[in-house]
Amino acid sequence: MAVSVTQPPNDLVDLLNARALHEGERVAYTFLEDGRTETGSLTYGELDRAARRIAAWLLDHADRGDRALLIYPPGLEFLKAFFGCLYAGVIAVPLYPPRRNRIDQRIESVGADAQATVALTTTQILFDMQRRVENARALEQIPWRATDKEDVAERDAEFQPEASTIAFLQYTSGSTAAPKGVMVSHANLIDNLAAIDQCGQHSTDSVMVSWLPVFHDMGLVYGILQPLFNGFRCYFMPSAVLFQQPIRWLEAISRYRGTHSAAPNFAYDLCAQNVKPEQLALLDLSSWLVGLNGAEPLRETTLTRFDETFRGCGLRPHTICPGYGLAEATLAVGVVRRSTPAGVCTLSARSLADNLVEEVSREDAQAQTLVSSGPPSPGTRIEIIDP
């Protein structure tokens, strides 16, 4: 039986503990290796027990407040390690796994910046990287642990975080400068999850379908933690599936009666552009209530094309909800509410370049149509400041 959160918990440790205690046998997460094949699931109880095992090892090799690199391929092992860090009071640092037999510069840079004292990964990645770690000075002196080995005894997680306790570091992409870590506290997460819930109107009967990478704030906070917050089922798959066969994201929503999902603008375009008539005939998207659209510039043409392409599959009007967020705000800053049309305005691109707002007709040579990211999320204050 699903348990609804009537009073928001103080932290994620309390949250998972409560789920494990009251609905430990309920399946929480299912991994779809290729977007179709279920290769593993975790109940709340299993996740809790796995987290305790990993926490036990961490408590023997790190101090509370130390940083742990989490270097995992897509899958359930990351979830165990992430919550293991929370249970031990060790700050998680999620990172994208390197290419085979390589330590990429980003991992070494983040490891040094975070002053990581341990690294958690899988047996396969650890085996692939063993001969390479000695070439990365920031990583060679710290213990590495393959957490898919269950040779550590489970023990009680005694750590009770304060609301201000840092849960994890969300590193920026580092595409224009060295990666920078954003400190995300338990209070930040609980507050933002509650705000997103008001916008998306989730329930214990909701179903999340996600392909977003878990080292990205939208993939971790919305794709993984929102289902835990509200107590509903989550199906997730590797992000590579979206790029290789985008239809499988929509097929999963259709098959599992997905109600909530999220993606950057390009993913909606990719689906609309690549879907075939015979695939459309097999999709039923009538269960889909909210598809967040964020993480990159929003395009009105994308919203229109997606709606028109999948309307015949039962897609409801205004299912795709534009929004804006950033890691420094945990995730959401503004989101268009569920079942609400997104506002648009057409402005002069020339005037915008001069920091002026001038409405023009769509036929104007300088016309640029902007899509609203919605009102501020509940509890969010936005200030426009002249530096």
pLDDT tens across 334-376, in order? 999 888 888 899 999 999 998 899 999 888 888 899 999 989 9
Is residue 308 included in any domain, yes or no?
Answer: yes
Is residue 30 included in any domain, yes or no?
Answer: no
Verify that 284 and 352 share a domain, yes or no.
no
Verify that 223 and 246 share a domain, yes or no.
yes
Task: Tell me what pLDDT residue 37 has.
Answer: 97
Task: Tell me what pLDDT residue 247 has.
Answer: 96
Verify that 163 and 280 share a domain, yes or no.
no
Structural tokens at position 38: 């279920």
Q: How far is CA 323 from CA 30, 104, 343, 344, in A?
A: 26, 32, 11, 13
Task: Tell me what pLDDT residue 18 has.
Answer: 95
Number of other CB atoms surrounding residue 200 within 10 Å: 24
Indicate the residue among 179, 204, 220 that finishes a domain.
179
Tell me how far apart the alpha carbons of residues 321 and 298 are, in angstroms, rounded to a whole number: 10
Verify that 255 and 110 share a domain, yes or no.
no
Q: Are 161 and 86 in contact (CB under 8 A)?
A: yes
Task: Tell me what pLDDT residue 149 has.
Answer: 79
Is residue 32 included in any domain, yes or no?
Answer: no
Verify that 215 and 329 share a domain, yes or no.
yes
Verify that 195 and 330 share a domain, yes or no.
yes
Is residue 34 included in any domain, yes or no?
Answer: no
User: For the domain that residue 16 is a member of, what is the CATH number?
Assistant: 3.40.50.12780
Residue 265 amino acid letter: N
Interior angle at CA 66, CA 61 and CA 70, nearest 5 = 80
Verify that 168 and 207 share a domain, yes or no.
no
Verify that 337 and 350 share a domain, yes or no.
no
Task: Tell me what pLDDT residue 387 has.
Answer: 63
The residues of the chain scoring below 70 in pLDDT are 1-8, 99-104, 130-140, 150-158, 173-177, 387
Task: Tell me what pLDDT residue 378 has.
Answer: 87
Indicate the residue among 179, 205, 227 that finishes a domain.
179
Verify that 329 and 357 share a domain, yes or no.
no
Is residue 203 included in any domain, yes or no?
Answer: yes
Verify that 79 and 157 share a domain, yes or no.
yes
Verify that 173 and 232 share a domain, yes or no.
no
Is residue 131 included in any domain, yes or no?
Answer: yes
Chain position carrying tokens 């040579």: 365
Which residues does residue 67 pair with via DSSP β-bridges, in sequence order?
91
* pLDDT tens per residue, range 78-130: 999 999 999 999 999 999 887 665 556 788 889 889 999 999 999 988 887 76
Task: Tell me what pLDDT residue 24 has.
Answer: 96
* Number of domains present in the structure of the chain: 3
Task: Name the residue range of residue 352's domain.
Answer: 343-374
Task: Tell me what pLDDT residue 176 has.
Answer: 62
Tell me how far apart the alpha carbons of residues 279 and 297 are, in angstroms, rounded to a whole number: 28
Q: Are 254 and 209 in contact (CB under 8 A)?
A: no
Indicate the residue among 319, 341, 363 that finishes a domain.
341
Task: Tell me what pLDDT residue 180 has.
Answer: 86
Interior angle at CA 242, CA 212 and CA 311, nearest 5 = 100
Is residue 382 included in any domain, yes or no?
Answer: no
Is residue 359 included in any domain, yes or no?
Answer: yes
Task: Tell me what pLDDT residue 10 has.
Answer: 87
Chain position carrying tokens 């304060």: 162
Verify that 66 and 142 share a domain, yes or no.
yes
